[in-house]
Structure 1
Amino acid sequence: METDDTNKTETPENSPMSHSEILREQISEALDIYDKTNASIFLSSLTAGLEIGFSFLLICVVTAFFNNENDAHLIWKLNAFVYPVGFILVVLGKSILFTEQTSLLTLPVLNRKSKVSDLFKLWFFVLAGNITGGMLISLVSIWIGPQLGIFDTSTVQKVATHILHGDLTVIFVSAILAGWLMGLLSWLLTSSDSTISRILVIYIITAVIGVMGFHHSIVGNIEVFSGLLVSDNIKFTEYVSFLATAIIGNAIGGVVFVALLKYKAFAYNGND
């Protein structure tokens, strides 16, 4: 006799994850990364730096396409629609991106399963891979764009100048907000149970970063480094200052406003 499945209640497998379950999953995922070799972490991070370059390519395409038809403010808002593409490729492809992993990798330290020195070493390899990959895709982008006729070097300069238009204080606070959102992205992805929902979460969070103009160190590295290569108006010191400020801001946003607060909220709830 066949049973009727229409009246089945929601099972634990498809019910929403609790705060403690998300935290345990995040710590477990982070520990898996800690167990990887340095070479594996660097190569995965290098891949992420390359893949996220597709966001930069699309930003240049949109900027060049609408340059003569819309004012500059509208162009930067339109760019927010294509900004998430690189993030989707990176996150769903499981490459290691510094801003997504910042809060995640801090959790084992807060839980006393890893040491601070191990965290900083891991961050070093992740950043080295992300930045190196970004530089490589920068070289490809500033060559292929003009060759295909989809944008020219003046567009690259325009994008880089836009990223650098604020002073370092503005960039720093903006980067904190971007790091905060990227930390939340990692947290939300853990509670998402389907590819479609994960894509939607990635798109919404990163589109907010794009439309608000918040500074993301890894995408920003590609944008400003590309501008440095094609323009005499952008100095190497500006590039280094921007990159250092954005990295520190992103790290603070992810560690303080996501990892620390969410971990403490769990701890104060009386759980181990």
Structure 2
Amino acid sequence: MGDRVPGEAGGAAETLSELPAAPRPFAVHEAVRADGEADLVRPARSLFWSALAAGLAIGFSFFVPGLLHARLPDAGWRPLLAALGYPVGFVLVILGRQQLFTQNTLTVILPLLERPDARTLRGVVRVWTIVLAGNLLGAVLVGWVAAATSLFTDDVRASLAEMSAPVAALSVGDALLRGVFAGWLIALLVWLLPVAESSRVTTIFLATYVVALGSFPQIVTAVVAATYAAVVGHAPPASLAGGVLLPVLVGNILGGVVLVASLNHAQASDSG
């Protein structure tokens, strides 16, 4: 019975040899790389509008936890339930096929690792620049609207201010290290999507919920929170940009490129 998997009552039992085989690393690699190849030749305007849409939509990963936080009692488990709202923005962005910068630390890097030439490198820099610009513009806009208007009630605004404080308080070292873990998890999520099939929402939820629980800052959601903190007067914009957001960005890049793209490219190359 060593290779037998329990079946449903009254149903035929399955053995491991009868179960559908998981895709080999090379197959996953090629599926993700194909997305990256498409992005490398995608028109700049199309990339930008998609990135802007993602920057706006990712604001829900800041707003929904704030809405939950404001409506939950002040108890030790409050952050655990409030964090359940964090995946919402990522579900909207990823299922909507919008351009999010941390996804591109994997997708367009795989073609570069396959063809390490100047032309591909220029393509990666082009995609990164356009997508990051669109993401940050959207994040700043949506963060400003939340802070400078009466969009939310006072209790929700207080919760959003409380939830933006940890981002503003990060040291350079903490922002960099935690940014690595966020970049690692988000890029790993992208790697898993080709095999997730009907469980994509669950996969997105699990990965991004861990990001929220660990307070691992993803650059675009961090910009939404930092913009909110700056507008309500909790932190000066200059110190946020240089002391928090830049290390977060570098950490996200390192986590995605080194811990996901490079390692999975190596294993796929060896197994292909």
> Fold match, TM over 0.5?
yes
1:186 aligns to what?
Answer: 190
CA distance in 1, matches of 2:91, 2:143: 19
Q: SS state of the match for residue 98, structure 2?
A: coil
1:240 aligns to what?
Answer: 241
- Give the alignment partner of residue 110 of structure 2, picking from 107, 112, 137: 107
Give the stretch that moved more between structures: 41-50 or 146-155. 146-155
- Give the alignment partner of residue 128 of structure 1, picking from 108, 128, 133: 133
Q: What's the TM-score once normalised by structure 2's chain length?
A: 0.87
- 1:156–1:230 contact (8 Å) kept in structure 2: no
- Residues 179, 147 of structure 1: CA spacing in aligned structure 2 closer, same or farther, 3 A cutoff? closer
Q: What's the TM-score once normalised by structure 1's chain length?
A: 0.87
* 2:178 pairs with 1:177: no
1:62 aligns to what?
Answer: 68
- 1:97–1:130 contact (8 Å) kept in structure 2: yes
1:221 aligns to what?
Answer: 223
Which residue identity does 2:188 align to in structure 1? Answer: L
- Residues 190, 150 of structure 1: CA spacing in aligned structure 2 closer, same or farther, 3 A cutoff? farther
* 2:159 pairs with 1:155: yes
How far does residue 166 in structure 1 lie from its aligned partner after superposition?
Answer: 2.9
* 2:32 pairs with 1:29: no
How far does residue 227 in structure 1 lie from its aligned partner after superposition?
Answer: 1.0
How far does residue 15 in structure 1 lie from its aligned partner after superposition?
Answer: 4.6
What is the CA RMSD across the aligned residues, in angstroms?
2.5
* 2:98 pairs with 1:95: yes
2:9 aligns to what?
Answer: none
Query: Which stretches of structure 1, 4 residues or longer, exceed 4 Å deviation after superposition?
Result: none
- Residues 167, 39 of structure 1: CA spacing in aligned structure 2 closer, same or farther, 3 A cutoff? same
- Give the alignment partner of residue 82 of structure 1, picking from 61, 81, 85: 85
The gaps in structure 2 that reach 5 residues or longer are: 1-11, 13-19
CA distance in 1, matches of 2:154, 2:102: 29
1:9 aligns to what?
Answer: none
How far does residue 267 in structure 1 lie from its aligned partner after superposition?
Answer: 2.0
The gaps in structure 1 that reach 5 residues or longer are: 1-5, 7-13
Kindly provide the CA deviation profile for residues 13-32 of structure 1, in whole angstroms up to 9, marking residues without a partner as x.
Answer: x6532111111111111111
How far does residue 167 in structure 1 lie from its aligned partner after superposition?
Answer: 1.2
Kindly provide the CA deviation profile for residues 69-124 of structure 1, in whole angstroms up to 9, marking residues without a partner as x.
Answer: 325x6433222211000000000000010112211110000010752222112101
Kindly provide the CA deviation profile for residues 157-186 of structure 1, in whole angstroms up to 9, marking residues without a partner as x.
Answer: 322212233311011110101100111100
Give the stretch that moved more between structures: 82-91 or 17-26. 17-26
- Residues 168, 116 of structure 1: CA spacing in aligned structure 2 closer, same or farther, 3 A cutoff? same
